[in-house]
Structure 1
């Protein structure tokens, strides 16, 4: 009985590993899509750069976040946010939402600042999604056969342990595959928007002058420090040069005296 069950388990594993084709209903679904299959699995990512007055950078930054929170029906989520109020105020944001939510965000941003750059890219996820579906169907079928085999091996402790161990491994792989497929589908069903807000073109004429004056003290002290550092390197070489010059002059004089 043990040998039969072990042989059946090996044969079942070989069959499951070799089964790489999708089930009939999945194939029918893929072929029914026709030429529209690729376009249905495009993951879009948008980028927009805005230029506004320095004092409005933080205001526009907060307004963009508020607009995202208000678009709950579009599942808008703030994935990343950063604001820098240093010499040149700028901010960056990253959103994820359904297509209509992303378009609303872009429209709102265009009304509040000058668009200096805008772009859109698309990643085709058709192949990864279909591969994930095939792998998931294969493992689910393998799990069903293992469960049937576990029922037959109820009286064989060793075979039952092996089947349960294999079932646990397959279940773990199924959960990982389901998570991966869910992530891919989320990328297709939602879009990404990268926003950068700065004040390069609309900053005041005197702003660069003010930055230069404010940094004069630090730059001056840094210049003095650089001179001192350079002197520390030059003094030993200068001393060596003077010594060699003195030796060369001494030898030259002795040579002239010996000639006379």
Structure 2
């Protein structure tokens, strides 16, 4: 059994620890006792800081969102079919719909139907992800989407590298400007020119990085859409009549090609005919004369 004095000391220590746990908040590290040395206090403070950082990392790891944002370049390639008569109207409807959304029209082309080739059209756009569904819904309302291919390219590493490069170059540029603005340090003309040359090169690198970051921003903040419109093939009266319809449609072209071939043949053969007719006529006269001579001899 412990002596009374030692038992009292243990009870006093337990009450002190209990009061300390009730009074001190759980997040900050507990303050060291006055009897501890300076080295002990610094170690306790460092351990508290490491514990707090580990707790923050554990709380952020399992359920929280990832700290780094992903930058994806998404591309949609679509093919749509519409009748030849409605193709220009469908193309214009989707193009006008892009103007009402957060959409950037990059290129547009329209080829109307001719006797030689069917009509076709195309649109190239950049659209915010929130407006892609609205644009695709408008396309489905005026044309039949026959194919839709989606590709995605991760640009996160490139964005991080460019932003880190811009940050480092900015800090370096600011330090160079501070050196030029420092009037207390005596520098000769060669040092000043060297600093100015380095500053100009750094600024050029910053401008190039800003341009690259802007290109990456355009590729990742909006989705790239390419829509190709084609005329839908319509067979009237069944498939058995399609060859006849095609032949009737191409009859004029075939006749024109035949007439052209005939004209070409006449143009090529006419000089030879002009030369052959006199030769044949002289040959015929000589043959008749020989025939009469041979008859007289007989």
State TM-score, norm by structure 2: 0.58
Which residue in the other structure is 1:196 paired with?
228
The 10-residue stretch of structure 1 (125-134 or 204-213) with the greater mean CA deviation from structure 2: 204-213
Runs of at least 5 residues in structure 2 that lack an aligned partner in the other structure: 1-56, 237-241, 270-298
1:96–1:191 CA contact under 8 A, matched in 2? yes
Whole-angstrom distance in 2 between the partners of 1:52 and 1:173: 50
Structure with higher RCO (Cα < 8 A, 6+ apart): 1
Query: Residue 208 of structure 2 corresponds to which residue in structure 1?
Result: 176
8 Å Cα contact 1:83-1:91 kept in structure 2? yes
Give the ranges of 4+ consecutive aligned residues of structure 1 lying more than 6 Å apart after TM superposition: 31-34, 225-228
**CA 1:222 to 1:48, structure 2 compared with 1: closer, same or farther past 3 Å?**
farther
1:82 aligns with 2:109: yes
- For each residue in 1:33-80, what CA deviation from the matched residue of structure 2 results, as whole angstroms up to 9, or x when unmatched? 976857x21111111111111011111111111101111xx2x11101
**Does 2:140 align with 1:104?**
no
Query: 1:75-119 deviations in whole A, cap 9, x for unaligned?
Result: x11101111124200001101110122221111111111111111
Corresponding residue of 1:20: none
Q: How far did residue 225 of structure 1 move?
A: 8.7
Q: Deviations over 1:162-218 (max 9, x none)?
A: 211211111111011012112212211111111011114347657744552342245
**1:158 Cα offset (Å):** 2.0
Higher helix share: 1
| Number of residue pairs the alignment of both structures matches | 198
Larger radius of gyration: 2
Partner of 2:253: 215
- Counterpart selection for 1:133 from 143, 163, 178: 163
Q: Deviations over 1:5-45 (max 9, x none)?
A: xxxxxxxxxxxxxxxxxxxxxxx9xx98976857x211111
User: What does the per-residue CA deviation read over 1:104-163, in whole Å, with 9 as the maximum and x for residues that have no partner?
Assistant: 111111111111111111111011111111111121121122122223466522211221
Find out whether 1:122 has 2:160 as its counterpart: no
